[in-house]
Amino acid sequence: MMAYWIAVLSVFALSCQVGCDDNAYDNHTLIRLFPHDTKQLEAIIHFKEPTGQIEVLKTSRGLNDSLDVLVPQSQLDLVQDFAKENKLTLEVKQNNYGRSFAFPERQPRRRVLHGFNIYGYNSFGAIREYIEMTARRHPDLVTLQDVGQSYQGRRMKLVKISSNPSAGNPIIFIDAGIHAREWVAPAMALYLIHRLTNDPEARTKDLNGVDWYILPVVNPDGYEYTRTGRSNRLWRKTRSKNSNCYGVDGNRNYGFKWAVSGVSSNPCDKETYAGPKPFSEPETQMVRNIMMQNAKRLKLYVSIHSYGQYLVYPWGYTGDFLPKEWKKLDSLARSVSDAVQRAGGLPFKVLSAGKWYPAAGGSDDFAFGAVGVPYSYTMELTDGYEFIFPEHLLKKVLPQFYEGFTVLGSQIRDEFGVN
């Protein structure tokens, strides 16, 4: 029967290779399926990632961890039967899911000049204006590096924050927003820039002996596409043209163990298409170039994502074995989680990415395995709201997460500081 379900789901996947953008999700139900033993977990794992009528939002990472799927009314019976056949716990979290999509009010571009909402979901244009304004206000701390253009021609700039650029300090490189729908990730990156440049304590402590390089939105084309309407809100990939479909999963496109696991070779797959070749996307090329240009000083890389409240480390391409340095990676991640908890936040679930689910071509594996960055992580922010994290909660959670980044900074300073 398992083969039957795989075949059925594959049909679903093929049914919407072209024209998937017409789906507004208004008639979709968010369903969570929970496995409680290894046989049920295997069934969950073989629930193939469809690209059409049924959409996977989150894969189960283990026992009692849910598989989250968006299901149109026409397919509810099939999912319910799948759960019943495999004795999975089924939870209907929300009906009419698309109606919960809220969008920030459109503001004139001049708004940035009169005050920027650091606790909001801002357009890429406003984000770019904000970082340019920050560089003008803090020329002693901030420099901007033009790193190129996205596929659709959006100019991207790396924010370099340092209290002593000539010291040769170790570098922490943080990027966000490679997955377009994960709005909380760029918001976190911007909050880091804000705190590091405006908080006197942060300027004294967190910039002491460490340089921070931050790329707030790696996938600006996809990010802006998700802001154009509810039908596009859950778009994940870039916006390059491939065959008759659009986009590549940027976090499957890096040239380390590319496409060996957890990817799709179908350009119309809405989730995990790895691209026609490694680094096919200008956006991933930019991140690669930043890493390679700063390889000698780069000691920590963090790619910010959402959701699920996970902090994972290499290897991502396999769950069969760990790097020999895994205990150091694990220990630091747990210290970060403890700091976020002390600040009132939820703990992170800490493990290797491949133990979570194998997926090759990720930026964290590339940083660790190809560039030689000693500490490399993917940080999944927030839980309980999927990709639609409420904007009004940013003021609460962003400062909590910031405390985790201070722990990262302290570790890099203590281990690699030049003084």
For 303-353, what is each residue's pLDDT tens digit? 999 999 999 999 999 999 999 999 999 999 999 999 999 999 999 999 998
Q: Quote the CA–CA distance of 394 and 60 in Å, as a whole number.
A: 26
In the predicted model, what is the mean pLDDT of the chain?
90
Of 16-20, 48-52, 233-237, the range with the lowest mean pLDDT is 16-20
> What is the reported pTM?
0.91
Please report where in the chains the tokens 């002593």 appear, as a residue.
164
**Which of the two residues, 349 and 99, has the higher pLDDT score?**
349
Res 394 pLDDT > 50: yes
Q: From its phi and psi, is residue 13 left (phi > 0), alpha (psi between -120 and 50) or beta?
A: alpha
Return all residues near 81 (Cβ < 8 A) that are at least 6 apart.
none
Q: Say what the pLDDT of residue 106 is.
A: 55
Res 12 pLDDT > 70: no
Most confident of 29-38, 187-196, 240-249: 187-196
Res 175 pLDDT > 70: yes
Most confident of 51-60, 81-90, 361-370: 361-370
Res 65 pLDDT > 90: no
Return all residues near 118 (Cβ < 8 A) that are at least 6 apart.
190, 191, 194
Q: Which amino acid is at 410?
A: S
Phi, psi at residue 334, to the nearest 5°?
Answer: -70, -30
Res 19 pLDDT > 60: no
Instruction: Please list the residues that pair with 58 across neighbouring strands.
Output: 68
**Which of the two residues, 17 and 129, has the higher pLDDT score?**
129
Residue range 80-105: mean pLDDT, rounded: 87
Q: From its phi and psi, is residue 195 left (phi > 0), alpha (psi between -120 and 50) or beta?
A: alpha
Q: Quote the CA–CA distance of 154 and 157 in Å, as a whole number.
A: 10
Q: Which amino acid is at 354?
A: G
Of 61-70, 177-186, 283-292, the range with the lowest mean pLDDT is 61-70
Among residues of the chain, what percentage have pLDDT more than 70?
90
Res 14 pLDDT > 70: no
Q: Half-sphere exposure of residue 412, counting CA atoms within 13 Å on the CB side?
A: 31
Among residues of the chain, what percentage have pLDDT more than 90?
74
Query: Which of 363, 375, 366 has its CA nearest to residue 416?
Result: 375
Predicted confidence band of residue 115 (pLDDT cuts 50, 70, 90): low
Res 83 pLDDT > 80: yes
Res 86 pLDDT > 90: yes
> Which amino acids are annotated catalytic?
380
Q: Say what the pLDDT of residue 64 is.
A: 81
Q: Quote the CA–CA distance of 44 and 328 in Å, as a whole number.
A: 31
Predicted confidence band of residue 397 (pLDDT cuts 50, 70, 90): very high
Q: Say what the pLDDT of residue 269 is.
A: 87
Predicted confidence band of residue 8 (pLDDT cuts 50, 70, 90): very low
Tokens of 227: 């802001």
Q: Say what the pLDDT of residue 241 is.
A: 94
Per-residue burial over 332-358, b if 16 or more Cβ lie within 10 Å, else e, is bbeebbebbeeeebeebbbbbbbbbeb
Res 298 pLDDT > 60: yes
Q: Which amino acid is at 415?
A: E
Q: Say what the pLDDT of residue 164 is.
A: 95
Q: Say what the pLDDT of residue 13 is.
A: 39
Predicted confidence band of residue 113 (pLDDT cuts 50, 70, 90): very low
